[in-house]
Amino acid sequence: MTGGQPDAASDQLLLNRLRRIEGQVRGLQRMVEEGRDCHEILTLISGIRSALDASGSAILEQYASGCRPGSGDAITPQDVVRALRLLRR
């Protein structure tokens, strides 16, 4: 990985995570359509949010690890701070 760009294996892991999240969201839609208990729905929403947070953290970690001293396209500390701020919104 260079310049914060993920490699093919990292991309595949992220896509797998996102597909699992997609499945959870589809399940959430079904639960709402079926009139399921609010507690069950909120529990799933919490799980989805956690999964999204973990995905964002993984992307940020890949980005930050792209910092290479002496590299022409090194990521600056300011770049990492900007990415952190985006993730916290």
Along the chain (89 residues), what's the average pLDDT of each consecutive run of 10 residues?
Answer: 60 93 98 98 97 90 65 72 80
pTM of the predicted protein model: 0.72
What confidence score (pLDDT) does residue 86 get? 82
Tell which CATH classification among 3.40.470.10, 1.10.510.10, 1.20.58.1000, 3.60.15.10 matches the domain 8-88.
Answer: 1.20.58.1000
71 secondary structure, DSSP code: -
The answer to whether the beta carbons of residues 29 and 12 sit under 8 Å apart is no
The answer to whether the beta carbons of residues 24 and 47 sit under 8 Å apart is yes
Percent helix, strand, coil in the chain (nearest 5)?
75, 0, 25
What confidence score (pLDDT) does residue 88 get? 77
What confidence score (pLDDT) does residue 27 get? 98
- The count of C-alpha atoms lying within 13 angstroms of the C-alpha of 36, restricted to the half-sphere facing its C-beta, is 14
